[in-house]
Amino acid sequence: MTLYNIHTMGINAWCSDLIIDPQDMETIYFMSICGYQVTVKGIVANFIENSGISIELDGEIHDLVRSGLGYKVQIKKLPSGLVHAIVIPKLALPINNDQKQNRFFVITSKDQSVLTLFFRHLDEKTEIPLHLSWDSWLWKTFKKQEGWLIELKTLVGDYKGYLFDYHPTRMHDLISKAIKKKVPEIVQCMTYKGGNGDGTSNFA
């Protein structure tokens, strides 16, 4: 793991993961930092208050700010006595009370399934009945729609981030159209598979 110096207002910590907006390269969506408790809390506080923070990468200084979204901050004390803080958009959490129900983030490490998290968020946010077997088809469909799926830029670390912003009515129409056309990825879950779920009878 490579750590990079991150600082603001004369205080410093170390950054292990940083995800930013691919268009506005100054906007942070996800951040993981560690260091002494006072400095870590100071950097997080300045970030939340939109005071701006800076990070040095390969000799280049990047000045960064928060987005207009709400964030969840988690701080944990490490056995070494240092602390680790994660700053993540509330829209990336499985359950949130944000009114914009058609928008969410997926922030994932390389060991997690992006499709699983994507489907879980979407299923929780929409009233449209969805089937788990549709996850790949839904992902491909989102990619085809302008602005529905945006891959964020990883500036530091191995985490990946995605922003989803879809139109529920349009999604309903796309699913309905796929059912009418009998798209295999959609209708296969509707095929009767017998009493035992595999085509065999459950009668003795």
**pLDDT tens digits for 49-77?**
988 899 988 888 899 999 988 999 999 99
Global confidence as pTM: 0.85
Cβ distance 103 to 67 under 8 Å? Answer: no
CA distance 128 to 32: 35
CB 161 within 8 A of CB 30: yes
Percent of all residues in the chain with a pLDDT value above 70, rounded to a whole number = 89
Structural domain contains residue 128: yes
195 assigned to some structural domain: no
Query: Does some domain include residue 202?
Result: no
- Total count of domains within the chain: 1
Segments of the chain assigned E as strands: 4-8, 11-20, 27-35, 53-57, 60-66, 71-77, 83-89, 103-108, 149-151, 153-156, 160-165
198 within a domain of the structure (yes/no): no
Express each pLDDT in 2-17 by its tens digit: 899 999 988 999 999 9
Instruction: Please report whether residue 197 resides in a domain.
Output: no
96 pLDDT exceeds 70?
no
Q: Is the pLDDT of residue 143 over 90?
A: yes
Q: Which residue has the higher pLDDT, 50 or 35?
A: 35
pLDDT at 118 over 80: yes
Q: Is residue 41 part of a domain?
A: yes
For residue 87, give its domain range.
4-190
Within a domain: 117: yes
Residue 122 lies in a domain: yes
